[in-house]
């Protein structure tokens, strides 16, 4: 019996040496950073990982973005804080803080 191929763009599925299943799909490049957006789901059981992967794909198609568990970089946080700070202080104070 031969296995059927996944369609193009369906992503990749593999099992690592620890027995964990990985489902990955490239969602294109992030317009803000230019970096590739890769959706990845891991699981001990293939069917469980597949269900979570399909749920995340459906969420991405519905909302248009990926919810990330990663915390933002300190640089991003400080830039956002500085923009907010600028609205609350006098211009000279902002210039001394911004460098």
Chain segment 10-56, per-residue pLDDT in tens: 788 999 999 999 999 998 888 777 888 889 999 999 999 999 999 99
Is residue 1 included in any domain, yes or no? Answer: no
On whether both 64 and 86 belong to a single domain, the answer is: no
Q: Are 61 and 80 within one domain? A: no
> How much is the pTM?
0.60
Question: Binning pLDDT at 50, 70 and 90, where does residue 69 land?
Answer: low
Assigned token pair, 28: 């294109």
Tokens 């749920």 sit at which residue? Answer: 55
Q: Mean pLDDT over all residues of the chain?
A: 85
Task: Write down the pLDDT at residue 66.
Answer: 75
Domain membership of residue 14 as a residue range: 6-68
Domain count, the chain: 2
Average pLDDT value for residue range 44-71? 86
Look at residue 1 and tell me whether its pLDDT is greater than 70.
no
Q: CB-based contacts of 31: which residues, under 8 Å, 6+ apart?
A: none
Same domain, residue pair 48 and 11: yes
Cα distances from 27 to residues 22, 32, 96, in angstroms, run: 16, 14, 42
- Domain CATH number, residue 43: 3.30.160
Rounded to an integer, what distance in angstroms lies between the CA atom of residue 1 and that of residue 58? 31
């Amino acid at each position: 019996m031969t296995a059927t191929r996944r369609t193009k763009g369906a992503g990749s599925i593999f099992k690592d040496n620890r027995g964990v299943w990985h489902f990955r799909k490239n969602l294109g490049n992030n317009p803000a950073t230019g970096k590739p957006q890769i959706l990845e789901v891991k699981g001990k059981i293939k069917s469980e990982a597949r269900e979570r992967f399909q749920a995340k794909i459906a969420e991405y198609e519905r909302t248009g973005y990926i919810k990330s568990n990663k915390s933002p970089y300190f640089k991003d946080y400080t830039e956002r804080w500085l923009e907010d700070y600028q609205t609350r202080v006098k211009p000279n104070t902002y210039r001394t803080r911004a460098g």
